[in-house]
């Protein structure tokens, strides 16, 4: 299963765009890239998922280059409430189920 590497922490200010990059050099052909957000003492919440190129939804964009060895989560105009841990996961069926490996994530702090 492909491992992911992402920065341990990032700081930003309200209103700025935040880009969190995740590397996954050993991504397999049938692997998808998924990002989750987690607030303290809560369960992770799905943000966005993609396979290649660009995916956009109401909260974020996900950019995936052609080689798929990395991906970038883009959060437009962050607010204080975006302070959370963001997890990049790469996974597909393994032994018949969705095996997701959560690393330590990126701790994003948004400042006023």
Q: Which residue has the tokens 């700081």?
A: 11
Minimum CB distance to another protein, residue 19 (Å):
21
Q: Determine, following the binding rule CB under 8 A, whether residue 10 of this chain makes contact with another protein.
A: no
Whether 14 contacts 108, CB under 8 Å: no
Beta strands per DSSP E along the chain: 9-13, 18-23, 32-38, 45-50, 53-56, 61-64, 70-75, 84-91, 93-94, 97-98, 106-111
Q: Determine, following the binding rule CB under 8 A, whether residue 1 of this chain makes contact with another protein.
A: no
29-68: contacts with another protein (CB under 8 A): 30-32, 34, 41-46, 49, 51
Minimum CB distance to another protein, residue 44 (Å):
5
Q: Determine, following the binding rule CB under 8 A, whether residue 83 of this chain makes contact with another protein.
A: no
- Binding residue for another protein, selected from 3, 69, 99, 111, defined by CB under 8 A: 99
């Amino acid at each position: 299963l492909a491992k992911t590497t992402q920065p341990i922490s990032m700081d930003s200010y309200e209103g700025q765009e935040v880009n969190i990059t995740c590397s996954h050099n050993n991504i397999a052909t049938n692997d998808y890239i998924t990002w989750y957000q987690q607030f303290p003492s809560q369960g992770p919440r799905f943000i966005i998922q993609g396979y290649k190129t660009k995916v956009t939804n109401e909260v974020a964009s996900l950019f995936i280059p052609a080689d798929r060895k990395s991906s970038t989560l883009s959060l437009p105009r962050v607010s204080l409430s975006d302070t959370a841990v963001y997890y990049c996961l790469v996974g597909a069926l393994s032994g018949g189920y969705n095996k997701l490996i959560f690393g330590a994530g990126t701790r994003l702090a948004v400042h006023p």
